Structure 1
Amino acid sequence: MRFTHPGYKIASLVAALFVVAACSSTPESAPTGGSTGAASAYAPGSQEDLAANAGDSVFFDLDQYNLKPEGQSTLQAQAAWLAKYPAVTLTIEGHCDERGTREYNLALGERRANAARAYLISLGVDANRLQVISYGKDRPFAVGSDEGAWAQNRRGFSRVN
């Protein structure tokens, strides 16, 4: 018996594409070029390099802009990373969760970004290499209206310019 329904042809084509795609991709964790570290997988001084080797986000408690010890550790790693790449500049983005007014969250996001910037400067990073911007609650990282999503959205994010 021969199947000639158009749906079978489309389903077969989609299945074949998945098989080809699965066979041709390289897992992200696979080492490349005989390297032993994640650093070589990314262009030196890139956003991906920063994220992999220093971290690009610090997190804050509800309605707070003081740096927690984990955030300080991340910023210390960022300062060391920036020392390796003196031509790199960062924009530190301040973000908030969805609760509160837009105006309140823009101001809180700015205080968060400035707290991270001030800490980096205290570690010896040239102030001219650091800009700040607040997005408040306008650019959430995690979608959702629960504590898990809110905690991910209360952050300072360092973006390589």
Structure 2
Amino acid sequence: MLIALTFFVAGCATKPTPDDTSNGMTGNNAGQSSQGEVLQQKPSGLSEQDISEAEAAARAARAAEEAASTGLVRIHFEFDQYLLTPAAQKTLRNNAKLLSAAPAINVLIEGHCDERGSDGYNLALGEKRAMATKNYMVSLGVAASRLNIISYGEEIPLDPASTEEAWAKNRRAEFKVKR
């Protein structure tokens, strides 16, 4: 009888509670479902807007990597200008050659500005920069249907500082490969 009681008490002992950090899983299976899929968890403290902005930044980074892998190079503009400098024209000639060699690639040309000026003014100037870039590329033989434009104005600076050097970096047109 004493032996049976010992087994009964041992069998009813409380089970250890899972550690809160492992979600009940340990070892190599932690963070996986029974089918082996990685569980997606929303990081705590992040709003939907934060997550959306992070996803947009990740997409932009991937597009920039793709543009860099094709060899497309950004161009820069003078203050309050959308006319192409001789250096920008040389860069665009090289970009046009690269696009001619890769006819399946379509490109989004982004117009950017520095922080000086109103939001509306900078959006309009960024659009003029993107359009001037597109028109020059079309004059070099790139099909207009392969080139789309957008203006971000001052919203996406390369350098957030408020210096002449930073502003010069931010006055640009960039090329993003579209899929």
- Partner of residue 92, structure 2: 75
TM-score by length of 2: 0.62
| Gapped regions of structure 2 (runs ≥ 5) | 1-65
| Gapped regions of structure 1 (runs ≥ 5) | 1-45
Tell me which stretches of 4 or more aligned residues in structure 1 moved more than 3 Å. Answer: none
- Partner of residue 154, structure 1: 171
- Partner of residue 14, structure 1: none
Structure 2 counterpart of 1:47, from 67, 86, 94: 67
Structure 1 counterpart of 2:123, from 106, 113, 129: 106
- CA deviation string 1:3-28 (max 9, x = no partner): xxxxxxxxxxxxxxxxxxxxxxxxxx
Say which SS state the counterpart of residue 130 (structure 2) adopts: helix
- Partner of residue 39, structure 1: none
- Partner of residue 130, structure 1: 147
CA RMSD of aligned residues (A): 1.3
User: CA separation in 2, counterparts of 1:124 and 1:107?
Assistant: 26
User: CA separation in 2, counterparts of 1:115 and 1:158?
Assistant: 13
- Partner of residue 138, structure 2: 121
- Partner of residue 25, structure 1: none
Say which SS state the counterpart of residue 166 (structure 2) adopts: helix
User: CA separation in 2, counterparts of 1:155 and 1:54?
Assistant: 13
By how many angstroms is 1:54 displaced?
4.3
Please say which structure displays the higher CA radius of gyration. Answer: 2
Aligned length in residues? 114
Instruction: Tell me, yes or no, if the aligned pair for 2:72 and 2:175 is still in contact at 8 Å.
Output: no
Structure 2 counterpart of 1:86, from 88, 100, 103: 103
By how many angstroms is 1:47 displaced?
1.7
User: CA separation in 1, counterparts of 2:172 and 2:68?
Assistant: 18
Identity of paired residues, percent? 48
- Partner of residue 52, structure 2: none
Amino acid paired to 1:111: K
